[in-house]
Every structure is written in structure tokens, then in C-alpha cells.
Amino acid sequence: MIRLLILCFTVLGAGAFLGTLMKQDEGYVLISINNTTVETSFWTFIFLGFLIFLAAHWSLNLLFRIGLPGKHFFEWRKNRIARTAQKRTFKGLVALSEGHWWQAQRLLSQTAPTAAQPLINYLGAAKAAHEQGHKDNTDDFFAQARAIAPEAEVSIGLQESEVQVDRGEIDAATITLKRLHVLAPKHSRILRELSELYRRQQEWQGLIELLPKLHKFKVFEQQQLTELEALCYREMLLSVVTKLPIESTAETRVKALSRGWKALPNKLNQSVEMMHTYAQALIEAQAFDEAEVFLKDQIKRTWDDSLITLYGTVPSSDSLRHYKQAVAWLKKQPNNAILLLCTARLAMAHSEWQSAVQYLEKSIDILPSVESYRDLAQLLASLGEQEKSLQMSQRALALTEDSISAIPLPLPTAEQQVESGEPQLQAAAKA
């Protein structure tokens, strides 16, 4: 209100001031164009100029508004198409989440050209088409997604690799993920899925090369990574020989295994499990002497019963030396049942039959085991002690049965009792 009053007083003051000026001096303006002259006062000229300005301004506005309805119509039509596309896209995504694949594919694919984010439409349509088993349509939608959003190759490729895995196209999925890994080497999901495909295909060398990044970017929990690393190197050692040509010599096989062993990280080549795996690989490669020497060296560094057990099963070109090594260990650990079993087996390999019997009996006294009973039963049978051999076999069987839980059995029915003659037996007993 105060501002309005101030404005009114200002206008009145300005009008009074201008009126005073107009009375004091009207001024004179002469305009001459060719033979035409126009004479007027200065204030009249100013007033006419103001009227001409207003007329021009109104005319321009009128012309602008005459052309505006067409523009408004196009904007309205554009907004209507956008709103319709948004609604249909929303319905398509809902259908996709609910598993209505045909409806989702139709809605998303039809609205993709006019959608605000067509990439979402094409990827959703690709999934819906894949779920219906429409391979060609799926591939077409992926191609259209790449055409309109080449910068989203990682997102498109990840979904495409999932589709390829579902189709059973493991090699194609691996190629896709390798390409994505080049584009985004730090992407955790790419690393995870690529590692899972390597494991599925038993591509242990490729998985080993991927391990540093799996550790660096913490793709899995630490325990999972530790187990995965051990699995990779264990399977790599066991598959070294199988990858060599059949005609490979024993020396070639041993060298290949040796390279694999040296490639192990320090924490793994000190693992008893990995030592056992390497020795087992040497045995399977028929490098018996190398396996015996390796196990002997490792047992001296790290005493472990599993290594002792394996040491007792390795054939050797020098059975006496092999047997004497076990006897030497036995002097330090005379009550080790596992070592006694190992020594007994090596004694049998060297034809020390009675010594083997003694070692087995002592092992059984300390820690009865199925293996000890069975070995002793076979040895006694070979020595002609059939009755004692049978006793050992029965004890081995008893240990095996003890490890099996009792299974409840049904009681015999009346009909079964009649068939078995039980009523007749009861009648005879009464007589």
C-alpha cells in the first residue's frame, strides 16, 4: 500500500513538472521530406512518437501470436508422445518383473524409439525375448541397444553374457567377458563372472592369472579367495601331465611338474595339502623316485601323518633305502601308529614279512584302523595263516560297521511267520 502511494505521488509530481515545462515553452519541431513539411510543437512530437512506438509493439505481438498456435500444438504433441511412452515403459517394466514376457517385450520394444531412456527398453525387451526362447529377437535388441548407446557397452555386455550362459554358449560368454574386462579391468562383477566361467571350464591357468585382481579389488571374501587359490594351483598341478603329449618322456613330465611347483606362491608350497598334491602328481606321472625323495625332504621339514601315509605307498627303485628311512623315523617316534603302518608296508615291499607283521600288530595295538587290519589280514593269508587272517578281516569289518548308524528294520508279519514255520515250532514245543 505504501509503495502504491509513493508511486502515485511520484507520477503526480512528474506530471505537474512536465505540465509546467509545457506551459513555459511548447518548443518547435520542423520535419521536411522532399516538398512536404510538417510543423508541430515539441511535446506533440514526443506524444505522437510514443503512440507510434505502442502501435508497432502491439503489431509485432499480434504477428507473433498468430504463428504461436502451431508451435504450441507441436509441443503439446511431443509432450503427449513422451508421456505415453513413459507410461507404456513403466507397464513394460512391471510386466518384466512379474514374468509376463510377451507383454513386456511388446510394450518395451514398441516404446523404445520414443522413450526418454531407450537403452532400458531395449535391454528389458532383450531379457523378455530371451525368456521366451526367441534368440534372433534377443540378439536384435542387443544390437539396437549398442546402436543407440555405444557408451553403455559394459552394461549391455554383462546382460548379453548372462544370456549366453543360459543358452549354454560358455565359450561365447567367456569371449564377451574377456572383452568387457579389457574395457573395464577394475569392474568387480566382470571379474567375478569371468572367474566363475574359468572355474566352470577348468581353465586353471587363466584363473591363476586373474587371482591378483580378485585379491586387489576384493571380489570375494578372503576365505573364499584362499580356497579358490588353493584349488587353482592344486588342479593346475594335477593337470600338468595330462596336457602333455602322450609320447612325452618321464623326464619331460617331471620337468613340467617341477615348473608348476616352482610357480606356486610361497604360502602354498609350504602347505601340507599342496605337498601331498605335488607328490601325488609325481606318482601319477610314474616318477616314483622323485616322489619318494620329495616326500622325504618335506617330511623332514614338516612332519605330517598324511605325508607319512603317502610315503608308505610310493614304489621305489631302491626298496631297502626306502624302508631304512622309515625305520630311522620310527626310532624317533616308536609309538606313531601311522608311521608303523607306513613302515610295515615298506617292509612288505622289501619282503620283510615277519617285521611287517610285527609293525602292523603294534600299530593296531596303539590305534586300530581298517587299513591296518586289512593289510595284516592280506599278509597273514599270504603266509598261510588263514584262521588269523579271517579274524583280522572280521575286525576290519567290525570297525567299518561301527561307523554306520543302526538302521531300524520292520518286524516280521504274521504271514511271514507262518511261511517261516514258527507256529509249527511253537506247537512242537508245547507237545
Q: Output the pLDDT for position 142.
A: 95
332 and 279 in a common domain: no
Low-confidence ranges of the chain (pLDDT < 50): 404-406, 409, 417-418, 420-431
Examine the domain organization and report whether 272 and 335 are in the same domain: no
Tell me: do 255 and 324 sit in the same domain.
Answer: no
pLDDT at 280: 93
Q: Are residues 308 and 341 in the same domain?
A: no
- Measured CA to CA in angstroms, residue 425 lies from 274, 397, 414, 416, 417 at distances of 65, 34, 14, 14, 11
Is 53 part of a structural domain of the chain? Answer: yes
366 in the same domain as 309: no
**Domain boundary residue, one of 313, 347, 367:** 313
- Confidence at residue 123, expressed as pLDDT on a 0 to 100 scale: 95
Same domain, 322 and 378: yes
The reply to whether 267 falls in a domain is yes
Specify whether 381 is located in the same domain as 344.
yes
Does residue 341 sit in the same domain as residue 306?
A: no
d(CA 129, CA 135): 7
Annotate the chain with three-state secondary structure: CHHHHHHHHHHHHHHHHHHHHHHHCCCCEEEEECCEEEEECHHHHHHHHHHHHHHHHHHHHHHHHHHHHHHHHHHHHHHHHHHHHHHHHHHHHHHHHHCCHHHHHHHHHHHHHHCCCHHHHHHHHHHHHHHCCCHHHHHHHHHHHHHHCHHHHHHHHHHHHHHHHHHCCHHHHHHHHHHHHHHCCCCHHHHHHHHHHHHHHCCHHHHHHHHHHHHHCCCCCHHHHHHHHHHHHHHHHHHHHHHCCCCCCHHHHHHHHHHHHHCCCHHHHCCHHHHHHHHHHHHHCCCHHHHHHHHHHHHHHCCCHHHHHHHCCCCCCCHHHHHHHHHHHHHHCCCCHHHHHHHHHHHHHCCCHHHHHHHHHHHHHHCCCHHHHHHHHHHHHHCCCHHHHHHHHHHHHHHHHHCCCCCCCCCCCHHHHHHHCHHHHHHHHHC
| Residue 347, domain member (yes or no) | yes
Question: What does the pLDDT read at residue 430?
Answer: 43
If you search the block for the grid coordinates 622309515, which residue do you land on? Answer: 326
Is 351 contained in some domain? yes
The per-residue pLDDT for 422 is 46
Which grid coordinates are listed for 190? 566382470
The pLDDT, as a whole number, for residue 80 is 76
Supply the pLDDT for residue 405.
46
Quote the pLDDT of residue 71. Answer: 58
Any domain includes 247 = yes
Q: What is the CATH number of the domain that holds 393?
A: 1.25.40.10
**Final residue of a domain: which of 260, 284, 313?**
313
Within a domain: 281: yes
Domain limit, last residue, from 313, 347, 378:
313
- Please enumerate in sequence order all residues whose Cβ is within 8 A of that of 83, keeping only pairs 6 or more positions apart, or say none: none
Task: Give the contacts of 305 (CB within 8 A, at least 6 positions apart).
Answer: 336, 338
391 and 332 assigned to the same domain:
yes
Flag whether 217 is in a domain: no
Q: Is residue 170 part of a domain?
A: no
pLDDT of residue 65: 60
**Containing structural domain, residue 362:** 318-399
Q: How many independent structural domains does the chain possess?
A: 3
